[in-house]
Amino acid sequence: MSNGFQEFGFGQNDTGIGERSKKFKGEKGKTYRVGFAWWPGMESDDFDISSLMPAEGADESLLTPKFIGAPRNYHKEAGYFVNKGPEYTALAGENPRMMVATLVISWPLARNGQPDKESLFSGMPDVMPWIFSQDKYEKLKKMHASGYWMHDHDVQIDCEDTQFQKFNFLPAKQNIFKEMLKSNNAKGKEIAQFIVDRVRRMAPNLPREIGQDLTLDQLREKLGVSGGGPVGNVVSSDADVDGLLGSMLDD
């Protein structure tokens, strides 16, 4: 259901009810192979391998995974919340930071750090939200634009720092999800359908993974502020927030 609610019955689609989504986060010294899971047209029953294949003669860079983004702030009394204008910035006491969200597949790897048949077919991969900063988005965008199309490649992520999520990105040959979609192997098809089902279930809730969508009154209540008075000294204009959004979305 598109409003964030989920239909289920006894023993039907009720696995994981009440659980919070596990977000992708790297651990220092570990290597990950990540594929993008959220693609245009995925909400349709017609989604298939052709959805990850550019039309003949089309610019391949135009076929990209889907992302959402929003400026957000953190306050110890409220947690993360979406910044919707200068009043939010004044209450937060600092300028917002642009954050990006998508859904990714973290593929299981063998001991040598590479995928193999045993690791890939031993179970279902993790499909999870990935919330990351604008600078990481720009690095991935550059990789895609340089010819390592994300519909044909996964991303190898080497984590250098757990706390600050510092990563090195390298293109990884082949998009495993795409290979599963076109596979004649029954297990491959099962895994591909599992990913599609997970994305359809998780995508409507992705905005709240970035931050709470609060009204000013709700935010003031969480912060214990009455009458709309600011709790900080930072004032931001609408142009500041527009600039944050524009710098991410502009080509």
pLDDT, position 112: 85
Indicate if the pLDDT at residue 244 is higher than 50: no
Q: What is the mean pLDDT of the chain?
A: 87
CA neighbor of 159 nearest in space, from 20, 24, 65, 69: 24
Give the pLDDT of residue 251: 45
pLDDT of residue 79: 96
The values of phi and psi at residue 205, to 5°, are -95, 0
Helix axes 134-145, 238-249, angle to 10 degrees: 30
Look up tokens 């931001």; give the residue: 236
Per-residue pLDDT band at 13 (split at 50, 70, 90):
low
Model pLDDT, residue 15: 55
What pLDDT, in 10s, does the model give residues 180-229? 999 899 999 999 999 999 999 999 999 999 999 999 999 999 999 876 54
* Residue 144 pLDDT exceeds 50: yes
Q: According to CATH, what is the number of the domain 31-225?
A: 3.90.198
pLDDT of residue 14: 58
Going from the C-alpha of 174 to that of each of 82, 109, 115, 153, the distances in angstroms are 35, 15, 11, 4
Q: Model-level pTM?
A: 0.82
Report whether pLDDT(42) > 90.
yes
